A and B are shown apart, each in its own frame.
Chain A
């Protein structure tokens, strides 16, 4: 296995607050790596930095050895590192299928003008996107609802749609933001299977998640953040035994966290 994505000394300061402090880890090809930590640990900020939604204060993110931090989000996405959002972030007014078709943008070969005049390349693109969209929707088990307006969907389907949008960009690394939040036990189990099957398609997954049992179940490795710093990294079994992690989650004497 090779190191696909490297996070090197990544730091983000908002004024006096250091949200992410000198975090270093790397993601191997085709693994599922979860980033966990208590609320406010800097997980979401870390994601935004990796996907170039925020500019770093120092440090950098490398993808196949090439810096991808501090670019624009669409350029990072074009290189193959794509961020998906929490469930409410979809194109609400469009049908499920249109959501997925539009998300094929990175695969388009025709120019904008080509789409305007309906050039042969553009027509081929459209056909290809439609086919691929149907296939992705089937794959994620939401094929029957493809003509629903996205805003009418229940939670579980929204999550699947979010992943479908991410998959449509043909990513190498997909960042999933809390894919299991707000789900009941059955839905979570179903979603865990879905995420696994995405990895089996050849996508490396990095996820931020609160649901501990799902994280322990799905992850190959886990990175733990607390107050913006990485306090542990390892397999689920190692993390479960790690004292620092237990401290971070269960609380410790006030003194040692500086209160």
Chain B
């Protein structure tokens, strides 16, 4: 793709997200879509993190743990310490990032199914931890979290107090979508810089990577920290929207969904997890009418999709392009 076409795509994409969808919702009065799309945006941020760990060759089924952790960090800071939500958002991400250094250092030495199993357990450990810790309020969780406060610089209101808004749904929609855009822009930049190549070198052969002088342990941890950071801010925003967080807010099923989103969208494409989340979320909802067959149909379609399109949905669109550009470079 040439530069101009790329820019046109980005502009169209941003316009649809920031103008088109809100306009459509206002006209059609389908206000429920706001909640759905907000969720999709937040889930795709967390999935984007998982995608990055796939990119260094690790199957990560533990993103739920960081989303949960992020939700609790933000909720506790807001409720118990009266910190502004806007400050707790990066703090939740940083907390998860720091935690993932400690967790990642030992477990990132594992590969393949062993790493996957450990991360699966991690989600459950996080849930049990939130049940047991004195500060998390056990199974009752943390409820009635106040809505995000206003942000003012020199008396100028940058972001209004969400509690004063007549309809808070669009505000959360914009918040989530902007976060998603920022996260994926960063991921895109990362993958297309030399860092992305280094990550791919890990994915393809760690031994060779270390013999050409790549500090593989360090790079693995960096990728995992970014992944967990994204999980943390996704979870923190979720807690703010639902104004509550429980130990069961993010469970193993969520962790598995994060992973499926990546598979579905395509592990080779940065925007794969975004599309995957959208399709998976809406697909699940559309099948709601089928009642008891929902899960059966859903999983059959998923298996079929993975068999037919092992490289994800985006491979349909970009297969030709990527082959061409590989030949041209």
Contact = CB atoms under 8 A, between A and B. Distances in A.
B212 A115 contact: no
B214 A74 contact: yes
A103 interface: yes
Interface of A: 51, 53, 72-74, 77-78, 82-85, 89-95, 97-98, 101-103, 105-106, 108, 112, 115-118, 122, 125-126, 147, 149, 165, 168-169
Given A74-B214, A169-B213, A116 B207 contact: no
Interface string B198-241: 10110111011011111111010010000000000000000000
B213 A94 contact: no
Contacts of B109: none
Nearest to A99: B201
Given A53-B207, A74-B213, A74-B215, A91 B195 contact: no
B327 A147 contact: yes
Contacts of A168: 212
Contacts of A126: 194
B189 interface: yes
What DSSP secondary structure best describes chain B's contact surface?
helix
A89 B208 contact: yes
Contacts of B215: 72, 74
Contacts of A97: 329
B193 interface: yes
Contacts of A82: 211-213
A51 B329 CA distance: 34
A102 B205 contact: no
Given A95-B329, A106-B213, A90 B205 contact: yes
A73 B205 contact: no
Interface string B68-92: 0000000000000000000000000
Nearest to B196: A115
Contacts of A84: 211
Interface of B: 189-190, 193-195, 197-198, 200-201, 203-205, 207-208, 210-217, 219, 222, 326-329
Contacts of B213: 74, 77-78, 82, 105-106, 169
B210 A74 contact: yes
Contact of B198 (A51, A85, A90, A102): A102
A72 B210 contact: yes
Given A89-B205, A91-B201, A102 B195 contact: no
A105 B214 contact: yes
A102 B201 contact: yes
A85 B211 contact: yes
B207 to A, nearest CB: 7
Given A77-B213, A94-B200, A106-B213, A147 B329 contact: yes
A37 to B, nearest CB: 22
Contacts of A112: 195, 198, 219, 222
Q: Sorted from nearest, which 4 A-B pairs have the closest CB atoms?
A: A106-B213, A77-B213, A73-B210, A115-B194
19 contacts: A72-B210, A73-B207, A73-B211, A74-B214, A74-B216, A77-B210, A77-B213, A85-B211, A90-B205, A93-B200, A94-B197, A94-B204, A102-B194, A102-B212, A105-B198, A105-B212, A112-B219, A115-B193, A117-B189
